[in-house]
Amino acid sequence: MKVGIVGAGMVGSAAGFALTLKGIATEVVLIDLNAARARAEAEDIAHAVPFGAPAVVRAGDCADLGGAGVVILACGVSQKPGETRLALLERNAEVFRAVVGEVMAHASDAILLVASNPVDIMGQVTQSLSGLPPGRVIGSGTILDTARFRWLLGRHLGISPGSVHAYVLGEHGDSEVLAWSNARAGSVPLGSFAAQIGAPLTEDVRARIDTGVRRAAYTIIAGKGATWYGIGGGLARIVEAIKGDEQAVLSVSTVEPDVAGLGPVALSLPRLVGRAGVTATLWPELDEAEAEGLRASAAILRGQVEKLGL
């Protein structure tokens, strides 16, 4: 599969590296306003091709996106230390108004995969600007938050994160909802599993994990300026599901026609992802507090969208 990446910064280049080493993309085209940066990142990634799967990795411009199955939008301004994702809204919306039309002019058949923050709102902006059906504009959403949740749970329980089935829902940001009530380890409810192995999920443990998930980005940004490896891997996983028509259940963000009577809003829920993009939304069973948290998260996102006049 040919994959275009608009934005050759740390997130875009990390995604290109993951796509190449995992053998998901046969061709990767990196595009950036800084053409020298795009060329340098493409060449650096290309030097890893002998250690992975065959692929062509090159720099280009939007005219080189023809035939791409997926275009990753990782362009825009980066999050500053202490800045919330929602504070990025106006700055990145302006960037996308200039970019999306160019991408659609050359890759109208591609699925658009949005990585720029605030990702839920930027996904809704992209869907509006592109005119594509909601399922063909996918935000990375809480795929990374879900991975963080599973990793922390796996570490506490002493098991592989791959054996933990738990999701983070709603906004990729401060109002996100950790769905504890339906989380499982293998086929066993999480609380029962934890009790059986002598690693109970006390309130202190839950609070520590909640903070670890919710504040992870801020901690990393404070230490090194930005996050890129985790989301690069998450983007590669989404492309992999599209390429293989997996109908994989992933916590990604698309525009939902209505959430709790608030109208259309993009947010993360478990969704089926395959060759056509998102083909179905799976509404999880939540306890009362989680359901209210999801509604509140949707209301925050909807309020920001209304400010843009979408």
- Say how far apart CA 29 and CA 55 lie, in whole Å: 11
Residue 278, SS3 per DSSP: strand
Give the containing element (helix H, strand E) for 124. helix 119-130
List pLDDT tens digits, range 97-108: 889 999 999 999
- Say how far apart CA 230 and CA 19 lie, in whole Å: 13
- Say how far apart CA 141 and CA 286 lie, in whole Å: 19
Q: Is the pLDDT of residue 92 over 90?
A: no
- Dihedral sign for Cα atoms in the order 295, 297, 301, 304: positive
Residue 89: pLDDT band (50, 70, 90) is confident
pLDDT the model gives residue 86:
64
- Quick one: 163 exposed, middle or buried, by C-beta within 10 A (0-12, 13-18, 19+)? middle
> Facing residues of 57 across strands?
28
Residue 266: pLDDT band (50, 70, 90) is very high
List pLDDT tens digits, range 184-241: 999 999 999 999 999 999 999 999 999 999 999 989 999 998 899 999 999 999 999 9
Which residues are part of the catalytic machinery? 172
Q: Which alpha helices (DSSP H) does 140-252 contain, by range?
A: 143-157, 190-196, 203-214, 216-224, 229-243
On the question of a cis peptide bond just before residue 257, with omega within 30 degrees of 0, the verdict is: no
Residues 6+ apart with CB under 8 A from 232: 11, 13, 14, 15, 16, 17, 18
> Facing residues of 270 across strands?
251
Mean pLDDT within 237-252: 98
Beta strands in the chain (DSSP E): 2-6, 27-31, 56-59, 70-73, 111-114, 137-139, 164-165, 168-169, 177-178, 184-185, 188-189, 248-256, 265-274, 277-281
Q: Is the pLDDT of residue 48 over 70?
A: yes
pTM: 0.95
